[in-house]
Structure 1
Amino acid sequence: MTSGTPTVGDDNVKEVFAEIYVPILADKPFFYRLNLNGSVRYTDYASYGSDTTYKIAGEWEPFRGIGFRGSYGTSYRAPALAEQFLGATSGFLGSGSDPCDDLPGAVDQSPNQQIIARNCAAIGLPANFQQTSGISVFRVGGRDAGLEAETSTNWSVGAVVRPVLPSAFGNISLSLDYFDIKVENGVQDLAGATILNRCYSDPNFDPAAGFCRFVTRDSDNALSVVSSFVNLSEDIVKGYEFNGRYSRDLFGGRFVLNANVTKYTEQSSRLFPEEFLTDANGIVTQPDWVGNFDATYRYDNVTFRYGVDWIDGDRNRTYEFFAFDEQTGISDPDLVQAYKDAYLLEVDDYFLHNASVQVDIEDYQFTFGVRNLFDTAPPQITAIGFTTIGNAPLYNGYDYRGRTYFANVNFSF
């Protein structure tokens, strides 16, 4: 039998924000433009507390049309109301969820079971211990478990090129930026069984610290676990972003071509501090290359648009990801091959084409178009390890409806 209480909480937020822009130099040798920008924000949540974040950025253009830029900033997210004030509930796990229950003999134990056996013995349990009671699990809101805010740091550097061209050649703008984002104290919903396993699998076992602080074993060896939203994860994203834009007058109208391409070099995370970072970069649902391209041509009151979205394919990275051991930091080659033999986790490059025509007539705007012009289906993989729709991986870049036509009207008054 389980029971629960309502989730009740309220909040209000007060903020103070200040920003300064300083034009340092202009129209000087090697300093066509030099600017500095800074901002600071103080945030106070009635439900949680306060923090201060900031950002500083600079732009240096030594010659007209060639510039460099960089920024560094911090961010802060207080836990959401549901994460803080989740109503307390109670439930149960089977006796077999006790890590100390019915362990094999010493000669038959895996390395992890040897650690568990040593930790169970440290609290006085015999080698042949068998749990005879169910395990009580109590869930509480993060506020009661000492939940802290998520924080992050991010920095970027880049270059911008805007050459001054004769009007007959049009205008062009190109930029390339490197970004590095790190999120710490990520909020995770930790389950009771996970807490038990992490507690008794800790090589530096302390029954009163770490994950074990959520576990209580009474004099009769009956277990109870308190689970909640806790701060565990770390996420790192790094990569390059390219933007390009070209425009010019053409045949009495205006032609514009845009391109945006992102190359990720790392998309790592870990749930527990003692684990190795797991880099998911390049797997099916976290491709290392993505891009979108669109061309528009406007003539009088009519605008034609054509766009292409691109997602890079994957051949081997997903198999390596599933074979990665967070405790050792390596992907076992034999396990990689075993995944290849058993599952299909490879996808090709994916392209989505879209086209539309927009007509402006006085206060009205009429748009007609088609999405997924060539009716491209999402890739099919073995439905293991990923959230899927049928056998298609659930990733927001894929289209699951097929070719669709649309028409809409906007008007102003």
Structure 2
Amino acid sequence: MKHDMNRLSLAIRLGLTAGIFAMAGIAQAQTAQADNPPSTDQAKPPSKNDAKTLKAVTVTGSLIRRVDVETASPVVTLDRSTINNSGKPVLGDVLQQMPAISGNATNPQNNSNGGGVASPLLEGGDGASRVSLRGLGINRTLVLVNGQRMANADINLIPPDMIERVDVLAEGASTVYGSDAIGGVVNFILRKDFKGVQFSLNDGISSHGDGQRRGFNLTAGQTGQNYSITGGIDYNKYDPVLGVRRKFSKQQLYLSSGSVVAAGSSSIPTGRIQLPGSIASQYGCDINSSGTANVTLAQGNGSSQSDYRCRLPSDTYNYAALNYIQTAQKRTNAFVLGSYDFSDNLSVFVDAFYNHTVSSGQDAPSPVGTGDGLIIPASNPINPFGVTFSQNPIAGDPNSGYNFQTRLTGGGTRVHSYTTDTGQINTGLRGRFGQESSWTWDATINYSHTKRDQRDTNEIDIPALQAAVDAGANIFDQADPSVSALLKKGVDTPEYVFTQATKQVQFDTSGELWDLPAGTIQLSAGALYRKQSMKYTVSSFAVLDPVTTTCQILQEACGSPGSGSFNVKEVFAETLIPLLSEQPLAYSLNLDLGVRTSNYSTTGTTTNGKIAIEWRPIADLLVRGTVSQVFRAPNLDELYDGRTLVQPTLNDPCAHLSAAQLAQHPAACQYVPPNWAGNSPAQVNTFYSGAATVDAKLKPEKGKSIDIGLVYDPSWLPGLSTSVDFWHIYLSDTLTAIQGDTVVSSCYNNNASPYCSFIHRQDNTSRQPGQVFLINTPVVNLGNLSTTGIDYTLRYKIPHFNLGDMDPGNFKASLSSSYTSTYKNSATPGEPGARTINYAGTYSQQFGNISRWRGTVTLNWNKGNWNAQWQSRYINKLTALNADAAISGVNIPMASVTYHSLQLGYAVPSIHTRFDVGVDNLSNKLPPLIYQNGANYNVDTATYDVLGRYYWARATVKF
């Protein structure tokens, strides 16, 4: 049977069919309502006569204080019981399993690959979890706490015991929340009115006997007549898991010409040593066209030429064995939530939390050689070959310029240690304008600060390593402990410190304007000022020199400092206008209008609006639709990040051209001679950076978000609720780091291209005129992106029943699914040869996992002191793009995956204690392989489980 016809896939299809039949039952519902009015315990929207008797609240996705739970915004809510039943100590593990989340998220399964990566904001290995709604990327998903944005969008920073529920809105919401809310928002709603003391212990371990996690949390609170205070501390620790502990990740797998090869790096501890044919011939090596061959250490200490043999293609180093598939991490959280009522019209509140995370990723020891500047002279006593190993021939030394490459195992594995401290406080006053007034107001101050200190242990310091080799450290024989001790002097620990802060003041007010026949017009309006700043510092010896493209340590770990800030002033308003109420085919009809004007100190002013319709032809059915403008202003990293070296392969269009042809492209082909052979080597240097680093200007991404849906809560079938939503999001001028090929081709096709200044070639005074020595590839506005799909949910609280004399208990079932129909990207619109690619149903390095179908089915049961939950999560099959290392354009299939989890709980009232146990990935499902296609572990760690079957237990006592 095909992969996509498993039980969960079938359940999703049946659920959608059930939704269609539910819509068809509207006529029956109208008749049933006429004959049998809804009972008082059936959930139905309040009429205009009883709305004022209920407490209005601000719902996620709107500024209006509402009584209605269901509005024009398609919000999915995870309540405390859902979070508790998952058994997850951190919120990231819960949120990232939702069907609306896809693409390239980050989590503790993503290992770090060292310092100096493209973005200091988005490093892996720091224990963070960040979400990507609709696959649009973590920068286009806004994370909120009680409606206030977090400076650090790592959802693992938030203590789970602090949360009452999580609202996930998977549509654009720029008019409500401003920049970044394009794919949607994740809003963590905090607990209120907690009384007593609660203490919990948890533990867990995989069926492989590794990946242990353990922790505790303590929460205490008190509520009085005019005050409430809750506080707590939380601690959890995760053990690291090496890739070698799992069959799929114990070695890097390559798909080459249709064959799967278990391979590794050609940089090996015994050396890849280039020798002239006159020496290499004694080993029987095949001499190449340059008259050289490679050998490696076979025995002994390397002091004699007889210790060596020819290097074989099978001589590789398994670096994957030393990578983590789960990073080591420890978190300590503390929080305080409080409020005090001075009077009926005035209160003060404070929401504050602090997180301290220590985590680490790990990589194999560094490869190093003459290409990094290392020189081993022929005169060095450790060198038995009588030739000099150097990157280039040395003047006066005819036997120089031979390559030497090794893996510095004597220097130790590279450990990337992170210490992250984050604090956030949101405080202020709220009240109402008089006892009889409907108008309320809030005046708030929001401050948050994050500092992340990254230390990369055992990064190679080239001058120090050179000194150790010159002093006699036998780099040919790293197996000798005494040699390793000397080589340890050739490594250092660069430090990269990233800080960011947000300061915001806001005032808003809400209330009623005037009455219409259908109800009262409501208005919410406000203004805010926010300043965001960042600073990134790098150890002096690790700072990238833009002239030499090197630093004192290996290029891969070179970084650049950066700093900057911006401020934004915003005014916003939203109004809800009731048009019809309790009319034939119009139980209610509301119009929701919103607008926000944002003035950024970096990009100027943008105004965005929305229009939403809420129509209930009958009380049981809500027809909703929202069209809103969305935008994302450039973030601090995209503006101010310093230079980072990248070395792509460049297809230079200026090669092999005549003088007449070159004359037609003077900007792109400056200094290129006629019939030029092309760049040597083909891999050139490019500098990723923020736009400001190269004096470029950015503007916001802009687009539209459309959502049209139905919500049906049939009164003729109590306990059932179902919804279906069509969504479409379109973006233009997307903010992205431009590629070197795009820079050159754009300038080649248009001499007036703004990217021409990014190209730097050797001039006519050089020995290699026309050679590209540097291309700036900063963040620019370039590209269009759109995605379309359908969400479907079904929730059913099964009516209580008895089986004879036996009470089976209470049951609830739910289905949540998301189907991505299109995910289209045009990387270079307007450029010759530009095309639009639909990534729906594919895995790619750029966009990650865009599976068409994702869904979860959950069944809950409780009876007396017992409760249980079964959950099944489904990810549809997809295609991995460009998966063959040897043949371009080869795609391979990835199988669908279904995960099952179980939870069982029992409460013991006499000792105020509850016990929970559970199993995740019950069937020990393995992730599908994608080989070397952008995956260090041969799999997509952002989407699939890598630990396998996992057991957990928790004990909770409440006083």
Match of 1:280 among 839, 851, 854: 839
Match of 1:367 among 889, 892, 916: 916
| Counterparts of 2:869 and 2:654, CA distance in 1 | 64
Which residue does the alignment assign to 2:825? 269
Structure 1 residues 139 and 70: alpha-carbon distance in aligned structure 2, compared to 1, 3 A threshold: closer
| Counterparts of 2:614 and 2:815, CA distance in 1 | 23
SS class of match (2:743): helix
Which residue does the alignment assign to 1:100? 654
Q: Deviations over 1:219-261 (max 9, x none)?
A: 6355553331111122111011111111133256432111112
Task: Please tell me whether residue 36 in structure 1 is matched to residue 600 in structure 2.
Answer: no
User: CA offset at residue 163 of structure 1?
Assistant: 1.5
Match of 2:750 among 185, 198, 206: 206
CA contact (8 A) 1:256 1:296 kept: yes
CA contact (8 A) 2:662 2:674 kept: no
- TM-score using structure 1 length: 0.77
Structure 1 residues 255 and 216: alpha-carbon distance in aligned structure 2, compared to 1, 3 A threshold: same
Structure 1 residues 394 and 93: alpha-carbon distance in aligned structure 2, compared to 1, 3 A threshold: closer
Match of 1:293 among 836, 842, 857: 857
Which residue does the alignment assign to 1:328? none
- TM-score using structure 2 length: 0.35
User: CA offset at residue 194 of structure 1?
Assistant: 4.4
Which residue does the alignment assign to 1:234? 784
| Counterparts of 1:123 and 1:216, CA distance in 2 | 9
Q: Which moved more, 1:138-147 or 1:23-32?
A: 138-147
Q: Which amino acid aligns with 2:817?
A: V
CA contact (8 A) 1:100 1:130 kept: no
Q: Which moved more, 1:176-185 or 1:224-233?
A: 224-233
Which residue does the alignment assign to 2:48? none
Q: Deviations over 1:101-133 (max 9, x none)?
A: 3x2899xxxxxxxx9896479979654135689
CA contact (8 A) 1:142 1:229 kept: yes
Q: Deviations over 1:66-101 (max 9, x none)?
A: 33111011222221212111235789999x875423
Which residue does the alignment assign to 1:350? 897
Structure 1 residues 20 and 199: alpha-carbon distance in aligned structure 2, compared to 1, 3 A threshold: same
Which residue does the alignment assign to 2:870? 306
> What is the Cα-based RMSD across aligned positions, in Å?
3.7
Match of 2:633 among 64, 78, 82: 78
Q: Which amino acid aligns with 2:709?
A: G
Match of 1:339 among 867, 871, 890: 890
Q: Which amino acid aligns with 2:654?
A: C
SS class of match (1:376): coil
Structure 1 residues 89 and 370: alpha-carbon distance in aligned structure 2, compared to 1, 3 A threshold: closer
Q: Which moved more, 1:46-55 or 1:129-138?
A: 129-138
SS class of match (1:199): helix
Which residue does the alignment assign to 1:19? 574
| Structure number having the greater strand percentage | 1
| Counterparts of 2:686 and 2:936, CA distance in 1 | 32
Structure 1 residues 49 and 118: alpha-carbon distance in aligned structure 2, compared to 1, 3 A threshold: closer
Q: Deviations over 1:175-227 (max 9, x none)?
A: 11111011222221224454224433xxxx22231533433568635555333
Structure index of larger Rg: 2
Task: Please tell me whether residue 160 in structure 1 is matched to residue 711 in structure 2.
Answer: yes
Q: Which amino acid aligns with 1:400?
A: V
Task: Please tell me whether residue 248 in structure 1 is matched to residue 798 in structure 2.
Answer: yes
Q: Which moved more, 1:241-250 or 1:126-135?
A: 126-135
CA contact (8 A) 2:652 2:679 kept: no
CA contact (8 A) 2:797 2:811 kept: yes
SS class of match (1:339): coil
Structure 1 residues 45 and 367: alpha-carbon distance in aligned structure 2, compared to 1, 3 A threshold: farther
SS class of match (1:387): coil
| Counterparts of 1:263 and 1:105, CA distance in 2 | 52
Which residue does the alignment assign to 2:615? 60
| Counterparts of 1:105 and 1:130, CA distance in 2 | 11
Q: Which amino acid aligns with 2:676?
A: F
Task: Please tell me whether residue 186 in structure 1 is matched to residue 186 in structure 2.
Answer: no
Structure 1 residues 408 and 23: alpha-carbon distance in aligned structure 2, compared to 1, 3 A threshold: farther
Q: Which amino acid aligns with 2:853?
A: W
Aligned pairs, number:
374
CA contact (8 A) 1:2 1:89 kept: no
| Counterparts of 1:153 and 1:246, CA distance in 2 | 33
User: CA offset at residue 278 of structure 1?
Assistant: 0.6
User: CA offset at residue 288 of structure 1?
Assistant: 1.1
Q: Deviations over 1:338-390 (max 9, x none)?
A: 837xxxx2233211001112345666554321111111111224x24x33253
User: CA offset at residue 18 of structure 1?
Assistant: 2.3
| Counterparts of 1:378 and 1:233, CA distance in 2 | 32
| Counterparts of 1:264 and 1:100, CA distance in 2 | 41
User: CA offset at residue 47 of structure 1?
Assistant: 4.7
Name structure 2 gaps, 5 residues minimum: 1-547, 551-558, 844-848
| Counterparts of 2:762 and 2:634, CA distance in 1 | 32
Q: Deviations over 1:236-293 (max 9, x none)?
A: 1101111111113325643211111222110111221132111011124321111111
SS class of match (2:642): coil
Aligned identity (percent) is: 27
CA contact (8 A) 2:670 2:761 kept: no
Q: Higher relative contact order by CA 8 Å / sep ≥ 6: 1 or 2?
A: 2
| Counterparts of 1:352 and 1:246, CA distance in 2 | 22
Which residue does the alignment assign to 1:408? 954
